[in-house]
Amino acid sequence: MKRFTFAIFLLFLVFPFSCGFLNIAHRGDNENGKYAEHSWVAYDRAVGAHVDYLELDLQKTADNILVVSHDENMSRVFGIDKNIKDYPYRKLNIYINQNNESMHSLEAVFRRYQNSNVKFMIEPKGDDDTKLLLQLIKKYQLEKRVLLESFSKEALLTYSRVSP
């Protein structure tokens, strides 16, 4: 019993220090709601704090533009009751959040942080975003800087098959 207790003690003492931790900025660093999530302000704060990953949620517009938004609807962040999938990007881009910023495309985010060291943890919300997302990752040469996450096992299997 003493050996088992000692092994558990070592595991909890040594494991966290030997494996390291990742600092992931969930939707950027919005300072508990002071800044809008998925905004330049929130992302810049996170990158300035040297996070390992920016966590990005993706939605797709009616004209097949991937945008960063956790919600399907713009009401919570932009104050307008519009579903992202029902409108082209140019019609959604006119609305501003509490930071006076419009909705950002994934391509704009990649372009802005292409030359930084930050990595991206991306959660595509749609099942048919595979081709668009992989094209952008390749275009900006971010293959080694992207982790994909999903609650959908099928979506992850699709990404794994298309781009192992």
pTM (two decimals) = 0.84
Q: Across all residues in the chain, what is the average pLDDT?
A: 86
Please spell the DSSP secondary structure of 86-154, one letter per residue: GS-HHHHTT---TTS--PPBHHHHHHHHTTSS-EEEEEE-STT-HHHHHHHHHHTT-GGGEEE--S-HH
What pLDDT score was predicted for residue 3?
Answer: 60
What pLDDT score was predicted for residue 10?
Answer: 47
83-132 pLDDT per residue, tens? 999 999 999 999 999 999 999 999 999 999 999 999 999 998 876 778 89
What pLDDT score was predicted for residue 39?
Answer: 93
What pLDDT score was predicted for residue 104?
Answer: 97
Compare 17 and 139 and report the one with higher pLDDT: 139
Whether the CB-CB separation of 125 and 56 falls below 8 Å is answered with no
C-alpha distance across the termini of the chain, in Å: 44
Phi, psi of 148, deg, nearest 5: -105, 140
Q: Quick one: angle between helices 106-113 and 130-139, nearest 10?
A: 20
The predicted model gives 134-163 an average pLDDT of: 86
Domains, in order of start, for the chain? 26-162 (3.20.20.190)
11-58 pLDDT per residue, tens? 555 555 556 677 777 888 888 888 898 999 999 999 999 999 999 999
**Joined tokens for residue 68:** 């960063």
Number of helical (H) and strand (E) elements in the chain, helices listed first: 7, 5
What pLDDT score was predicted for residue 75?
Answer: 97
What pLDDT score was predicted for residue 25?
Answer: 78
